Amino acid sequence: MLKKIFALLLLVFLQSSWAFAHDIFGFPRHRGVEPLVDKKYESSCGECHFAYQPGLLPSRSWAKMMRPEQLEDHFGENAELAEKERLYILKFLTENGADKTWHYKRSVKINQSIPENVTPLRITETPYIKKKHMEIPRRMIQDNKKVRGLSYCNKCHTEAVSKGQFSRTNVDIPNFRNWDDLID
């Protein structure tokens, strides 16, 4: 009995010190963004494009994007939703925005890189993402027929969809499999 209590206390201690380390050092953190999946989000947004994880933009950006007049002109496309759906997606996105997590490294960095008075609508215009892709030549992205633009994350980030991972190690640029030798 005493042993069990001791073990339990030890467990609580380990757990809390783990959480403490987590909060103080931000370590260990997950490397990507939270790979959240929501069926309604998938069907409402993912039918036209890769369903960008909510952790790729701060909540204020999602709130702006999900305004009815914004959805009517969604980067030139019409992405209107029935009000009930719209509110559901709005809630899903704003509750899981990049500013709502401490544990997913990319989200934290994306959020930190955006000045407080700015509300970007494009993930590709957040300073962190911009800087990370600054040196990739046009021929690999914009002029690459199999990629076409920075917005198509999952064309090169092979684990973007399934795991929310965007590390260098799982990048595969179509037509430029040896990109790592070409860029550095």
Partner 1 sequence: MYKMMLFAVMLLGTSAVQAGDGTVIDEVLAGYQAEGVGSFSAEHGKEMWIAKHEGPLGLDGNPSGEAFKIRRDDEPRSRSCQTCHGTDLSLPGKHWRTGKLINPMSPKAKPVEVDEDDGPRFSDKAKIEKWFLRNCKWTVGRECTGQEKGDLLSFLRNQ
Partner 2 sequence: MMKNSTSMKWDLFIRTFHWSLVLAVLLTYLSGEFDVEELHGWFGYVLLVLIVARLIWGFIGSINARFITFIYSPRETLAYIASALRNKPIHYNSHNPAGAMMVFAKLGVLIMLVVSGLIYEGWGEYEGPLWSLHIVISDQLGLLAKHVHRLLPELLLVMIAMHLIGVIVATIQHKESFVRAMWYGRDKQ
Residues that bind partner 1 in the complex, under the rule CB under 8 A: 39, 42-44, 47-50, 72-73, 75-82, 85, 122, 124-125, 142-143, 145, 148-152
User: Is-contact 52 125, C-beta < 8 A?
Assistant: no
For residue 17, state whether it binds partner 2 (rule: CB under 8 A): no
Residue 43 main-chain phi, psi, to 5 deg: -75, -30
For residue 28, state whether it binds partner 2 (rule: CB under 8 A): yes
- Between residue 128 and residue 167, which ones bind partner 2 under the rule CB under 8 A? 128, 131-132, 134-135, 167
The string of DSSP letters for 40-98 reads: HHHHHHTTTS----GGGS-HHHHHHHTSHHHHHTBTTB-----HHHHHHHHHHHHHT-G
Rounded to whole angstroms, the Cα distance separating 55 from 34 reads 6
Complex with partner 2: residue 84 or 168, whichever CB lies closer: 168
Complex with partner 1: residue 22 or 128, whichever CB lies closer: 128
Lay out the site mask for partner 2 across 69-108 (x = CB under 8 A, - = otherwise): ------------------------------------x---
Please state the closest distance from residue 61 (CB atom) to partner 2, in A.
17
For residue 124, state whether it binds partner 2 (rule: CB under 8 A): no
Q: What is the CA radius of gyration of the chain?
A: 20
